[in-house]
Amino acid sequence: MWQIEHILHSPIQFYTLLVALLYISLGLFIWIKPLEDAKKPFLTWFIMLPFIFVPLWLGEKYWVIAVGILSIYGFKEFAKGTGLYNQKTYCIVSYLAILAITVSIWLNSYGIFMAIPVWFIAIITAIPVITQNYEKSIQNIALSSIGIIYFGWFLAHLAFLAQSEYGLGYVLFVIIFTQFNDALCFIWGKLFGKTKFTRISPNKTIEGSILALISTTLIAFANWNIAFPHFEWWLVLLVGVLISLGGQIGDLVMSSFKRDLDIKDFGSLLPGHGGILDRIDSLLWVSPLFFHLVRFFHGGFGHG
């Protein structure tokens, strides 16, 4: 009985057990059914899940490193997809910016964390002056700035979340249920969707989005005592709405990028899923929105 109570009050233990049970159950369903198209994505999750849980079990510093690696690889995919990868100077400065952001989180310095993107974007605008090469400089500056903000700074909030007293609950809730929200949009859309609302992603429906919003908000309340027991009821409500809307916007933003580039996926690292960016697109918006919402009402992140 004591062990059950302990698990219920330990986010890392609770969500590890929950995800393991869900993964095994889903695997049995996929193989018994059988669902051939789902097997490859399912097996890929066998690699992705340890990348999430092992660093969190080891400690917050390992998680900061893991997110830093994810940010660097995400930027690399974006740079290759947009052609920026051929502009070595811009890429090197962008990588240095992501490294500096990661170090600021390691040092738990909120002030430096907030300032780094601004200063590195300023440095990037000076690259044409330093190199005396101004051809396509506006395009390269714009792409580098998006890379630093989106894949360096936005995603880095996921690492900074772990620095709080309730960090494990925050991080695991955001990751797991942002992914659930994506799945719910698809499932509800397939079952009840009739009204399409954007040509960026023709399969998305208004009904699917609304039902996902309601479902994710209810899930937030179901996880209240595990992920954020100190939150007020109205803040739990805001979190549920934010996770759902932020996730859907993040997904659509990356879809618009891919349509403009005329590509299906940003990479092929994850069989059945595409690249890193194809898997974390929803988190790119949810992570900073959740972080600053929580910091505004409850603090608990960094100094300076």
Distance CA 249, CA 97 (A): 25
CA-closest candidate to residue 174, choices 258, 291, 271, 274: 291
Categorize the per-residue pLDDT at 299 as very low, low, confident or very high, splitting at 50, 70 and 90.
Answer: confident
Q: Which three-class secondary structure state does DSSP give residue 144?
A: helix
pLDDT of residue 29: 84
How much is the average pLDDT of 98-114? 95
CA-closest candidate to residue 201, choices 244, 256, 246: 256
Tens of pLDDT, residue by residue over 211-224, are 999 999 999 999 99
Question: Which residue in this structure is represented by tokens 């792409």?
Answer: 143
Q: Please say if the pLDDT value at position 2 is more than 60.
A: no
Q: Which amino acid is at 43?
A: L
pLDDT of residue 190: 83
Average confidence score pLDDT of the chain: 91
How much is the average pLDDT of 153-182? 93
Tens of pLDDT, residue by residue over 71-94, are 999 999 999 999 999 999 999 999
Residue 196's DSSP bridge partners are 205
Helix/strand/coil (H, E, C) string of 204-218? CEHHHHHHHHHHHHH
Residue 303's DSSP bridge partners are 109
Distance from the Cα of residue 210 to its chain's centroid: 21
pLDDT of residue 273: 81
Distance CA 174, CA 162 (A): 11
Write the Ramachandran bin of 179: left for phi over 0, alpha for psi from -120 to 50, otherwise beta.
Answer: alpha
Q: What backbone torsions phi and psi does residue 107 show, to the nearest 5 degrees?
A: -85, -5
- Name the token pair of 234: 């109205």
Q: Considering Cα of 289, then 294, then 299, then 300, what sign does the dihedral take?
A: negative
Share of the chain above pLDDT 70, in %: 96
pTM recorded for the entire structure: 0.92
